[in-house]
Amino acid sequence: MARSLTEMTVDILTAQLSHRDMSADEIVDVLNNTFCALRALKDMETRRELQGSEAEAPVTPAESKTLPLSELVRSESEEEQTPKASTEMRPMDSIQQDRIICLECGQRFRQISHTHLSIHGLTPQEYRKKYRLPAKQPLTARSLTEKRKQRAKETGLGEKLKILREAKRRSG
């Protein structure tokens, strides 16, 4: 009896949880991403089977172009979940209350790191410029930005910076 995509997804997540701790948000993201990847693979297999039974001649390796898994998941499953980049989403709309959506690949994060942007060959400054985001716009979910603001106020960061800038201006 064939196992369902949901059962396979749970097995994969269980294996990952046995090796590392994850927050509830991470678990939800892993569940969604894994399920979408498995569904995309199943859809691809189904299409190939249909093409194979309907085709008169077998498909040669040169004719069958396979995408890497990351591209396959992006191209098929994320269309249903998250709008793709700049063609479907205004840049400021990608910054949401609890997540920010990468306008390059459509992945969801709490914060888009320079490490992630380097995958796309961009620095945070280049990313902001490319999508016409303000230079000082944090690449984080609004809730995370708000938490950081509160922490800075509680610790008196603004006053400390003001004092340091004044001292630097006097000495230099």
> Residue 90: is its pLDDT beyond 80?
yes
Amino acid at site 132: R
Q: What are phi and psi of 140, to 5 degrees?
A: -135, 160
Task: Indicate the SS3 state at residue 126.
Answer: helix
| Rounded CA separation 61/9 (Å) | 30
Q: How confident is the model at residue 10 (pLDDT cuts 50, 70, 90)?
A: confident
Q: What angle do CA 112, 126, 85 make, to 5 degrees?
A: 60
**Quick one: tokens of 171?**
């000495």
Three-class secondary structure of residue 21 per DSSP: coil
Q: Is the pLDDT of residue 8 over 60?
A: yes
- In tens, the pLDDT along 116-138 reads 999 889 999 999 999 999 999 99
How is the chain split into domains, by residue range? 1-57+68-81, 93-172
Pairing of β 100-101 and β 108-109:
antiparallel
The overall average pLDDT reported for the chain is 78
Predicted confidence at residue 32, as pLDDT, reads: 82
Q: What percent of the chain has pLDDT over 90?
A: 40
Architecture of domain 93-172: Orthogonal Bundle (1.10)
CA torsion angle 127 130 136 142 (round to 10): -70
pLDDT of residue 72: 37
3-class DSSP state for residue 84?
coil
Its pTM stands at 0.47
